[in-house]
Amino acid sequence: MDDEWICGRLGEDEPWVMGAVNPPVFENSLFTFATAEELGEAIRNEDERYVYWRGTNPTVDLAQRKLAALERGERAKCFGSGMGAIAATISSLVQAGDHVLVLGAVYGPTTQFLRYLEKFGVTHTHVGDLAGCDSAIRPNTRLLYFESPSYMAYAVVDIAEVTAWARERGLVTVMDNTWSTPLFQKPLTLGVDLVVHSLSKYIGGHSDLVGGVVIGPSRLIRPLALTEYQLYGSAMSPHDAAKVIKGLRTLPVRMAAHQERGLAVAEFLSGHPAVRAVHHPGLPSHPGHATALRQMTGFSSLFSLVLDTESREEVGSFLNKLRHFRIGVSWGGFESLVNAPALSTEESVRATMGIPVGLVRLSVGLEPADTLIKDLGLALEGVGRLA
């Protein structure tokens, strides 16, 4: 199926929509049945049947069907947050005594959750590459978790190589694909078992939604949907599902614009004397660019730069000088955002992840690239060697 058709039309011409230009939002908390036997059968299959809001409903189900089709997966399950999806997915795959390998830098709260699992007897090891995986794997290793491009550093993982390595050793692979969206990268087609996304970012696209999703084969999604999804209570609301559906309608157009603006800003920064490095996989100078071209069809607009400074104060001053980039967490909406881990992350955590003091993350929004470039140029005056 064509991705643009999936985003805009999949499931929206079915009889239950009744010709509404926007699919209906089912606000009811429960569904009733004609007989007790029908209710019993529905409860036994609550991952697919409409029983109670905590399970699913038609609006949420439509969002799930679209997302599964985009990722070329059998099924998807939407959650009330990205961390809800990540926590439930990891929990569904491990038990006391298991070990998890984490390849490369990943979203900070994901690491926090893995540390939380230690009190239940689940351990984990962070490694930088496949050689590190070879050294760190244990007889009780069950899961390999990674992102590509990676968190903050935006290193590119050879997905097919990693999944082949994991498959040979009987490991399940889970990958966070939020950076690329399903339009620019489809990890399931490269051997990944389960894909997770924060729907709060590009897919929602308007900074008015918090949500997450896990996508993969029914054999892994069904037990997760019947157990962790139900018990953790991180259900997506039908109102948020409606926002996901609306966000998907414009996703192809928005991602093309994000790519164009993001690359223009990255190219400007890569030649600036106050910038030591720019970590954007779309730049030919990026170490993973060739791999990215093999497994991706485009690039989003989230990347990082390293200022020519070792001063936290100078990093803060750079952020404060910006006028069009707003200071804040998250990314993927219309507005351009900036954040600096050195101002909010413990030094020990930054050291573990290899994040220097001068690293600044940019989320290039949909404002004119020339406006954003001028804003950055003025803020860079007086940084490092230019001081």
Q: Which residues are catalytic?
A: 54, 107, 176, 201
Give the CA radius of gyration of the chain.
21
Hey, what are 320's tokens? 């404060």
Which residues share a beta bridge with 326? 337
Inter-residue contact 312 to 304 (CB < 8 Å): no
* Distance in Å from the first CA to the final CA of the chain: 54
C-alpha 61/C-alpha 67 separation (Å) is 10
- Tokens read off for 137: 């794997």
Do the bridges between strand 326-327 and strand 212-216 make them parallel or antiparallel, or are there none, so unpaired? unpaired
Amino acid present at 154: Y
Strand ranges inside 19-157, DSSP E? 75-79, 99-103, 123-127, 141-147
Q: Note whether 362 and 265 are within 8 A (CB).
A: yes
Given a contact cutoff of 8 angstroms between Cβ atoms, the answer to whether 198 and 82 are in contact is yes
